[in-house]
Structure 1
């Protein structure tokens, strides 16, 4: 009977999202470039914010970040809360320029600003990251949650690898239907609806977790909250010592490597900012970015707190498999049986949101930045859309095959973030310099990108294994140092090989570029809230005094 209730709840919410998304987008023109890839410039602020959040927040974060917090405590929230800085930069520095240029993809700007080679280089790098890193990890993390929560191994008799493979395939097929047949509008709308479900379902986990923690000490929710704040205050300290390695987040990185990492992700990553390109106007794009910054400050309630509560409930058992079992463990234990179906649907929606967003962006980049300019410059929009759909289908199959092998890659969050760091900084540097400097010419990306990638790979994958002094250096320190080197190279290249004529950003906007009147005030409030969060979880707040550390398995 319980299984039937779970199945009914799951199907009801999943079908509801699909029906609403279909109904609201049934009249969309999907045979044009703007209609399919930019939602016909129809997206409003709240939809953009919900889609930004859901593209970012999936099982990968729910599993990975909670796994890290179960091991090292509250410092994991840095990945979430500091995103407000990058989203503010996106809203007021880059967004007006993006929309003025009339872009559909980020690599498109690299041809406008530099040359065709730069566009193709960035396109190939981004596609590689989506295919090899993002899509397989989204499927793996999502499948991991369902395997653990619903004891799929026990029900099917299959080993974990094959359970992950089968569930990953199911997730991929459903997500591909949204991404390939509905276009950006369907993706963004379903993201927003699933976002509401995720907020409700996600908050249930820490609430029920605190109730169980309180029960262990003879009380209820309030006692659980008291124990959460007092059992081990050191775990609530976000300010980790400067010399710690991952999965810790040393405090200097909050002002250096973390900021650089977030600037790429939130203001350059195609799978994120494509929904802002589809904004109705600049005002709605800025609203979406700032609303998303408020949401990111609140997300530790969902993707950090449960991991810490899991540690208090189960001890070092949550450190199994780099902590990636912590979230499934607490959900399986504290979530009432009658709510499991709804929670499963919410999780399924979160996974779909990330998968279909990345898949849609990958198809966009291939169709518009590789296929059309290289293989068929005169092809129609309708043909280009079909090419993108076919490419997305191939990517889906490849991600399905690769995803179960992520089981052997260690902690999800550390693997994904360290892999991305190889190329995210030079792409962001070239884009920002391209917008802000009139003198940089086409030589810049040809120099910056390969030098950065080679140096990062040398430091991260060779030097730290052969040079004792670098063995325990956090990879975001490498990002910070290499950013400085990148900027020195930028200055040298511009000085030695400046552009013959000053670059002028021409206006090709298809939307109104009037900024949001109250945008800067609201953004300032968001940044103040971010600072307050860091004060609360510090030695002068709820955390113990000093920088005390503890053993991590």
Structure 2
């Protein structure tokens, strides 16, 4: 289903693209004028970010075009079941705010592999650097470019490779020039555009279906449940979410450089805590503005107000075509571009930071800050080219959403294990960390192969449960290897381990609504209430 886009819509889309690239470039000029020109100002925005920008950037980097389109498709097919991927995120963002962010800021690290070296060893740092660069290029950039190109081809008829190259180049330009400040500033704007576009489409669709009562009277009540039993057609039984999501969620929200880099650029520890909590509240919205529209589309079809859909992947484009007037179609197109560009820009900046700080500077420690920025810009270009080359081959997965989550389930378990044990268990050793990373990564690669060729291998374990089982194995390896080859905890390493989990709550917070303890409790209670209502 291709959108018949009018001249006004094209003008809105063109103005948005020109404006966002210009804004990113201007951020780079501002950074150059108002900083010392050092690496920290380029890669970490000079440690100046406050909680609103951190929260908006976390949300924007997470939400890609695949979320808008694939979550609507899942809503159309399975109701709110896949909303778990959004509503479980606030719980892990609370973990980031309480337990991980304080250590990241106190240790003044530029990258998470740098943190891993301070807690464990250089070997762990190098291994995580490689894994993080691979995940940034393949998972964050490659999948996003491919998904975005598929959407743009389906909606506007733009050839696949034209979209991939065009978006990569436009995003790469302002990311390369402006660094993290440009990324975060543009992501803040893109989050607003994305939310407005999605809310407008959801609102119009909800009015068309007869409001909430019209929706609930039309579709099966089971479709509103997020916690499904074993054997449910969605393929997401409640226990797979409860056991599997924390593994992938902690990796994604607490230990992945592409996401956490916004927290590393925080002005201080309070801002580093509040930013993720703000993002946690924002993550409540996607179930209602990304997943719910697909369910509304099902109701509209049942009511005869939308034409029947041949392919479920077309549900978002059908809604845009039949529900939105001229002008608003351009706004939705801008929202789709915002989701794509924000994810790509964040991952490009992350890959550049990882290579420059964790690999190049380690190889040549005498490298000047100016040279480091130049290296980062070269890596941005190389990463962009690699992602362009890889993106077309990612179409081998049954669905993009499935492909992304499967890949995360196989790469995350060993990383989650070494970080969790690292900050909560004093006996976790360098040998245990490196052994877990190497063996866990190898096992993940093997399981990935078994799952990818499941027709030949007969592999039938759901990817979420595979991630949980892999984590259990990694935990055993971590404990066993650490006890086999223990090491004395130095003063520097001891400062990166909680003596007791409740110590994370001892730091004073800001007064009133800015108190991280109160906000964490409110967010937790709100999520429990939502799960109670939509169980």
Both structures adopt the same fold (TM-score exceeding 0.5): yes
Q: Residue deviations 1:529-553, cap 9 Å, x none?
A: 1112212223xxxxxxxxxxxxxxx
Which segment is superposed worse, 132-141 or 264-273? 132-141
* Equivalent in the alignment of 2:534: 537
Deviation of 1:95 (Å): 0.6
Which residue in 2 is equivalent to 1:5? 8
Deviations 1:396-437 (A, max 9, x none): 112122223333322111101111211212112112222233
Is 1:523–2:520 an aligned residue pair?
yes
- Superposed displacement of residue 67, structure 1: 2.3
Stretches of structure 2 that go unaligned for 5 or more consecutive residues are: 497-506
Other-structure match for 2:280: 293
1:176, CA displacement in angstroms? Answer: 0.5
Show the counterpart of 1:53. Answer: 59
Post-superposition offset of 1:333: 2.6
Instruction: Specify which of 209, 220, 226 is matched with residue 214 of structure 2.
Output: 226
How far 1:378 moved relative to its partner?
0.9
* Distance in structure 2 (CA, Å) of the matches to 1:275 and 1:514: 22
Among 187, 193, 197, the alignment partner of 2:189 is: 193
CA distance in 2, matches of 1:53, 1:7: 26
3-state secondary structure, aligned to 2:299: helix
1:48 partner SS: helix
Paired position in structure 2 for 1:14:
17
Rounded to whole Å, the distance in 1 between the matches of 2:184 and 2:22 is: 14
Aligned to 2:69: 63
Distance in 2 of aligned mates of 1:204 and 1:21: 26
Deviations 1:113-171 (A, max 9, x none): 2222211111111111222232111111212222222244xxxxxxxxxx111111111
Judging changes above 3 Å, is the alpha-carbon distance between structure 1 residues 471 and 27 closer, same or farther for their aligned structure 2 residues? closer
1:19 deviates by: 4.5
For residue 157 of structure 1, what is the aligned residue in structure 2? none
Tell me how large the CA RMSD over aligned residues is: 2.6
Structure-2-length-normalised TM-score: 0.89
Matches of 2:91 and 2:219, distance apart in 1: 32
Say if 1:268 and 1:428, in contact at 8 Å, map to a contact too: yes
> Which residue, out of 36, 40, 46, partners 2:42?
36
1:307-334, Cα deviation, whole Å (9 max, x unpaired): 22233345796573xx433322322332
Q: Distance in 2 between matches of 1:211 and 1:80?
A: 24
Q: CA deviation at 1:17?
A: 3.7
The match for 2:152 is: 146
Q: Which residue of the partner structure matches residue 155 of structure 1?
A: none
1:302-381 aligned within 5 A: 302-314=289-301, 318=309, 320=311, 323-374=312-363, 376-381=364-369
What's the counterpart of residue 415 of structure 1?
A: 403
- Paired position in structure 2 for 1:80: 86
Q: Quick check: 2:26–2:178 contact (8 Å CA) kept in 1?
A: no
- Equivalent position of 1:264 in the other structure: 251
Contact 1:310–1:318, Cα closer than 8 Å, also in 2 = no
Cα distance between partner residues in 1 of 2:186 and 2:461: 40
Aligned in 2, Cα 1:412/1:319: closer, same or farther, shift over 3 Å? Answer: farther
The superposition leaves residues 367-418 of structure 1 with CA deviations (integer Å, 9 ceiling, x where unpaired) of: 11111212x2211011011111111101111212222333332211110111
Stretches of structure 1 that go unaligned for 5 or more consecutive residues are: 153-162, 215-220, 539-553
CA contact (8 A) 2:440 2:474 kept: yes
